[in-house]
Amino acid sequence: MDGLRSYILSIVATCLCCVIFRSLVQGKGSAGAAVNTMCAIILAMTVIYPVARFRIKDLSQYTQTLKITADSLADDGVNISQSQLRSIISEKTCTYILEKASLYDCDIEVDVILSEESIPTPEQVQITGSASPYARTKLSQIIENDLGIPKEMQKWTYQN
């Protein structure tokens, strides 16, 4: 950005100098023509010289830096979306189990453990609280049938 700023400032400064020289020599004769030609040459050199000095290597380094930054930001975005997806799946699974438990007057807390796949699925559930043997059996069947979590992956902890 500093390079572009100094480039534009040098063009503006050259233009101002040319305007001042042309106002000093207001004649239309050979002196005016010489000043006009000289101003045109100086202005052209001011505009063209930095462009001629520009190296493709500089652009290559700049684009490489942009690519690294873009890759890093893309990875961050994937991680954030994966974290959000895991949170949503876990929350929805807990809510579903708690809604079903309320049908059987269970007073429980649920903790869901998700798989490590790119699209996580409920893999294990830990249930803490009080439930009658009948309610526990029914809830266990619902968790297995509806959520696909087998009974051996359902950890029950009773509270009295």
The answer to whether residues 93 and 35 belong to one domain is: no
**Phi, psi of 158, rounded to the nearest 5 degrees:** -90, 145
The answer to whether residues 41 and 93 belong to one domain is: no
Q: What is the pLDDT averaged over residues 129-135?
A: 90
* 32 is a domain residue: yes
SS3 16: helix
Q: Could you count the other beta carbons within 10 Å of the beta carbon of residue 127? A: 23
* 60 is a domain residue: no
- The pLDDT tens digits for 16-50 are 888 887 888 776 777 778 888 888 888 888 888 87
Q: How many domains does the chain have?
A: 2
Question: Per-residue pLDDT for 56 more than 70?
Answer: no
* 79 is a domain residue: no
Q: What is the pLDDT averaged over residues 84-107?
A: 93
Domain of residue 14 covers 2-54
* 108 is a domain residue: yes
* 39 is a domain residue: yes
The answer to whether residues 152 and 112 belong to one domain is: yes
The answer to whether residues 111 and 50 belong to one domain is: no
